[in-house]
Amino acid sequence: MAFKAPRGTRDILPDEASRWEFLENSFRERCRLYGFQEIRTPIFEHTELFVRSVGESSDIVSKEMYTFHDRSGRSLTLRPEGTAAVVRAYLENGLHEKPHPVKLYYFGPMFRYDRPQAGRYRQFHQFGLELFGSPQPSADVEIMALSYDMLRSLPLPEFRLELNSVGCRECRPGYRERLREYLRFREEELCPDCSRRYRENPLRVLDCKKPECKDLSAGAPLLTQSLCPQCAGHLARVRELLERLELPYVLNPRLVRGLDYYTRTAFEFVAPELGAQASLGGGGRYDALVEECGGPPTPGVGVAFGLERIILLADWKERLEAGPVPVFLAVAGEGLEEEALLLAREIRALGVPAEVELGGRSLKSQMKYAGKKGFARVIIIGSRELEQDRFLWRDMVDGSQVLVSREELRQRLLEQEG
């Protein structure tokens, strides 16, 4: 019986993996420029951490978590998102006692039991940023600016930044009641999910993509009109700074993120080309989260990107990092493997990727193989040439072949950086 990968998971094969590597390197480099440092947390955590932070009424906790009991009966959950675990680690390891702001980034797989479709998986990867210890609008904008820089470092088509404020502990409860009031007489027309949301967290109805719910909430009161003066001032300053930095955004008063911990700023990077799963990443402020997880009151702001979607959307032609062109070392005749191994070592020491013949094949099949694998150049080692410390240099593109000395070989390998 042949095994298949579980539904909602996928393999990343070598061709695609090189894109992941490029993306990761590029994101890491931008984090370095902004002074964010990496944190790696476990893939599973105590279930209670997510229930408390992400929120019991959220879709993630109520129906999407991979929760299991280990052999000693503890309830554990494969992380469905990154922020909760980073907050836990920040508190547990005393990072909250270090000079602030503390600026972290993470990268890794997340797990959600969702209905799989293009761009939506049960195991997917996120790259996220978290900034602890600043209540200032400039911190929100720093996160958005770095997000922009990361996305712009990739060959992505058009995307836009949508911005909203979801209020705070002071002004949101009042708005929630006003919204519930508005939806009260329309509850029966909501989709089954929104009917539950109406009772538990009516703000999420605003974000539903189903046409019936969209229509219904079209005339609902807007959060941006119910903000307390502090929240309204915060949003206004964020907008001013974005404009000053020339980071384009659109205000979307219906934007509500799926995680309950957000306060004030909420934002999303959207790529219309992706259709139903258009959100590349999103984030916002979470000023109460650290305290809710048992720490001192500490404001925070962050973002998480879904990497599968970004990889899918980018136009990767010609964009991968240019480096020295790889070379294949073929042997013409028996007993020359060790020469090939030795020469390969020399070439690799120059920083040029080199592969050697390992199959004991005829020269003809080696050439065929090199052609199929897309090597643009091959070095052929023959015993007669070797006696004079020379090699055959074959250009696979035009089929030409020349005899070169060891020194010339080095020159050619180095000169011909792509």
Summarize as ranges the residues that interact with ligand AMP (CB under 6 A). Answer: 81, 112, 114, 120-121, 124, 126, 257-258, 279-282, 304, 306, 308-309
- Residue 276: enclosing H or E segment and its boundaries? none
Which tokens belong to 150?
Answer: 């990361």
Q: How far is the CB of 410 from ligand AMP (least distance, A)?
A: 46
| Measured distance between the N- and C-terminal CA atoms of the chain, rounded to whole angstroms | 45
| Residue (304 or 331) nearer to ligand AMP, CB | 304
* DSSP-derived secondary structure for 124-150: EEEEEEEEES--SHHHHHHHHHHHHHH
Task: Check the CA dihedral 274-55-288-298 and report its sign.
Answer: negative
Task: Name every residue whose Cβ is closer than 8 Å to that of residue 187 and which is 6 or more positions away in sequence.
Answer: 195, 198
Q: How far is the CB of 316 from ligand AMP (least distance, A)?
A: 18
296: nearest Cα among 412, 133, 55:
133
Residue position matching structure tokens 């209020």: 167
R_g of the chain, CA atoms, integer Å: 28
Which tokens belong to 218?
Answer: 């079209």
| Residue (282 or 382) nearer to ligand AMP, CB | 282
| Residue (30 or 309) nearer to ligand AMP, CB | 309
| Residue (118 or 350) nearer to ligand AMP, CB | 118
State how far the Cα of 316 lies from the Cα of 156, in Å rounded to an integer: 9
| Residue (258 or 295) nearer to ligand AMP, CB | 258
Which residue's beta carbon is nearest to the bound ligand AMP?
306
| Residue (22 or 267) nearer to ligand AMP, CB | 267
Q: How far is the CB of 177 from ligand AMP (least distance, A)?
A: 26
Q: How far is the CB of 308 from ligand AMP (least distance, A)?
A: 5
| Residue (52 or 120) nearer to ligand AMP, CB | 120
| Cβ–Cβ under 8 Å, residues 261 and 57 | no
| Residue (164 or 279) nearer to ligand AMP, CB | 279
For residue 296, the one-letter residue type is P
336: nearest Cα among 353, 358, 368:
358
| Most distant CA atoms of the chain, gap in Å | 93
Q: How far is the CB of 387 from ligand AMP (least distance, A)?
A: 59
172: nearest Cα among 238, 301, 263:
263
The residue count of the chain comes to 418
Q: How far is the CB of 31 from ligand AMP (least distance, A)?
A: 17
Q: Report the SS3 class of residue 243.
A: helix
Q: How far is the CB of 378 from ligand AMP (least distance, A)?
A: 41
| Residue (266 or 380) nearer to ligand AMP, CB | 266
State how far the Cα of 103 lies from the Cα of 129, in Å rounded to an integer: 7
Q: How far is the CB of 408 from ligand AMP (least distance, A)?
A: 51
Q: How far is the CB of 14 from ligand AMP (least distance, A)?
A: 21
State how far the Cα of 145 lies from the Cα of 32, in Å rounded to an integer: 14
Q: Which residues pair with residue 283 across a beta bridge?
A: 267, 303
State how far the Cα of 254 lies from the Cα of 166, in Å rounded to an integer: 9
Q: How far is the CB of 67 from ligand AMP (least distance, A)?
A: 16
| Residue (257 or 394) nearer to ligand AMP, CB | 257
